[in-house]
Structure 1
Amino acid sequence: MSIDRLSIKYIVIEDEPLARRGLVKLLGAYDYLDCIGMYSNTEDARLVMEQQKLDLIFLDIHLSEESGLDFAKLVSPQVQIIFTTAYADYALASYELNALDYLLKPISEERLRKSLDRAVSYFQNRMMEKKETGESDHIFVKADRKLFRLELHTIQYIEAMKDYVMIHTVDKRLMVAMNIKTFFSQLPTKDFVRVNKSFVVNLNNIESVDSQWVTVAGKEIPLGASFKDAFLARIEKHTINR
């Protein structure tokens, strides 16, 4: 299988230093892998994930501060996860989280290679889909232990709820375990914009705008002072382009 031009950006989250360094050393043999960092805890990893685009996480399940399974529930569906653990009894839980693979420690080179073959196949298919269809007109989100396909034009606005977001569409509401900054980063910037710290709106579904409020689907959303100038500039550009 050709892997030309394929670059998979990954991080390792593992609280055992020897295991962490050992895995990164094994992964270094694959030139299509780009290591963004290795971390002993999920808090440090979150900071990097908010700042950089990421494709893959090698995630230990038994972490000292937070379970890898709990952390995985908050990861964007666009980021794939390969669990690493010394315990075989978490395989079902990883399957329910749609993990790309599940590696038992100690990880052999042969087993790791098979896992990476699966990753290559997944990301190559995704590249081909993007190439064939151009910019995607839909996203997939995890909610209620299911994967939902949402057409972007049906999304009216997204509302932050601590570590979750509520997606309001024309016919449903979905609660997704992800913070609003991470979710916003997965949306096409030409159609979606933040109007305050807690709301993202679809520019195509805005009904009215004034100096203090944005109305979408009958809901008045306050226009945050620090977001106002950028938002109004986007509105003007969007109107011209349409």
Structure 2
Amino acid sequence: MRVLLVDDSRLARAELRRLLAAFPDVVVAGEARNADEARALLAAQPVDLLLLDIHMPGETGFELLASLEAAPPVVFTTAYDAHALRAFEVNALDYLLKPVQEARLTAALDKVRAQLPGDLQAPVAAPVVMAAPVAPLSGHDQVFVKDGERCWFVRLSEVRLFEINGSYTRIYFDQHRPLIPRTLAQLEARLDPKLFFRANRQQIINLSFVAGVEPWFSHSLRLTLRGGAEVVEVSRQQSVRFRELLSL
């Protein structure tokens, strides 16, 4: 996989080179400090991925993409989360916040590999996180959440609770409670079962947020979650699974 780094910061490019060195199938095809240099390099040689900063002297990363007749797959790397919505509107494969985390970069590269021709999809030692729809999302993964005019880019490890709300699901993280158009069944299929547990028909909890457990009616359990005022009643059947899952 040939990658072009576009960032006006020399240190940021050096850090990306260091992270990419861990992937034997990745070759850094070049570096550009601005849109003009990036256009020249793209005209000279095709690449499989553009790791692109947004704020640069002269043209922004978005303006660079708009000027290209055909753009390679793009993953944005930026210190700002305010442009996440626009990034996905221009079909970016991912949006990595600086400092870029190795797990997030791994997930982004998996997305790129999934789009490459079969002979270019080289296997790597790093675990696949998001390459296929059935692959579970780990706690390290960040997800884009939009509720009305508000947007968040949330690390799943920070989400303590998913709860049905009509035909939507409410997500609990920090003091926020946005709604997303997903069912619990859809979310359960994507979430890591080692971290997220289906407590009942209405709720999925993040096990790392369980602060207290007490016996409840008919051999069921009641859980208290830290970080909020939520108390979750675990169904009788799921209480059996909960005990089996967390017992020695």
| TM-score, normalization by structure 1 | 0.47
Higher helix share: 1
RCO higher in structure (CA 8 A, sep ≥6)? 1
* Higher Cα Rg, which structure: 2
